[in-house]
Copies of this chain bind each other. A is one copy, B any other.
Amino acid sequence: KQTGSRLKCRALDVKNTDAFLKGRLFQLDDVIEAQQFDREILSAIFEVAREMETIEKKSRGNQILKGFLMATLFYEPSTRTRLSFESAMKRLGGEVLTTENAREFSSAAKGETLEDTIRTVEGYSDIIVMRHFESGAARRAAMTANIPVINAGDGPGQHPTQALLDVYTIEREIGKLDGIKVGLVGDLANGRTVRSLAYLLAKYNDVKIYFVSPEVVKMKDDIKDYLTSKGIKWEESADLMEVASKCDVVYQTRIQRERFGERVDLYDEARGKYIVNRDVLSVMQKHAVVMHPLPRLDEITVEVDDDPRAAYFRQAKNGLFIRMALLKLLLLGW
């Protein structure tokens, strides 16, 4: 954000990617939404994430971010995401200021704007990781702040680091992204995770996507239309076994009870419909994997956990490496 000749915030003008990409060098100023990343930037971030794996495993007490302070400004709790970011920062020698009850900053009683809060917090830290309950809050924060902002989820909007770690996991597990077949299973209507993933997969060649979901939570048309416009093949299926036998990745998601209101009957019907269990494993290819954004209920049975193709805990761990990479890139650059 220091260079006046560049756009103030890359994420705020996602069309102009080229200006930020020169060979493998580009300027990453904020992480606001999955759409800000193109294929080359994803590849570059993943390369750094691989370096981070090495650092985490072999270089205990790494200090490349020594002296940097990250503020985790969480307007709603998300312990899992917060711990992942804080671990990432500390694994690189950085320090953390934590707020789990950041709503207090902008409480109705006091009425401070998000912008004012950001102007204060940027005086105390070098980077802000923000979780907010309102869609678009991260972008507003980034426009205000003179330090980098990472969106750790803003309401029904974006959760870009989850999208990045999902794509990174596929590449790590399958070895490639072009030409893969991915089955998206479960709640495809409400899960921002699968929507972002579908969006990012459209950047690769010859990808085939299968949607397997109960009728009430089917993938919405906007994503289907988008995939079609990008030449990505997709189909809907009610046969999880057949899809599982063809796919490189079976990406299971949780049916979220809170989406069904008082229709517990619909919820119960939906959640029991597509379960990943040993039967599903038995038809999957040897190199294929099962993924899940976690937390899970019983949509993947515990018996699956011990199979080497159960990739969901490795996926969670990859979130650490992706976040380490982003912190490194935002604070130190390439």
Using CB atoms and an 8 Å cutoff, list the residues of chain A in contact with chain B.
60-62, 66-69, 71, 77, 79-80, 83-84, 86-87, 90-91, 95, 97-102, 104-105, 109-112, 116-117, 119-121, 123-125, 254, 257-258, 294-297, 313, 316-317, 320
Contact = CB atoms under 8 A, between A and B. Distances in A.
11 contacts: A69-B87, A77-B104, A79-B99, A79-B102, A86-B97, A100-B101, A105-B295, A109-B258, A112-B297, A123-B313, A123-B316
A224 B298 CA distance: 45
Contacts of A84: 124
A66 B77 contact: no
A61 B69 contact: no
Given A294-B112, A320-B124, A97 B104 contact: no
Contacts of A83: 71, 97, 99, 121, 124
Given A80-B120, A87-B69, A313-B119, A296 B112 contact: yes
B294 A109 contact: no
A87 to B, nearest CB: 4
A69 B97 contact: no
Contact of A90 (B79, B97, B295): B97
Given A105-B80, A295-B111, A313 B120 contact: yes
Contacts of A297: 110-112
Contacts of A317: 123
Contacts of A320: 123-124
A26 to B, nearest CB: 24
Given A120-B316, A296-B116, A79 B60 contact: no
B66 A79 contact: no
A105 B313 CA distance: 15
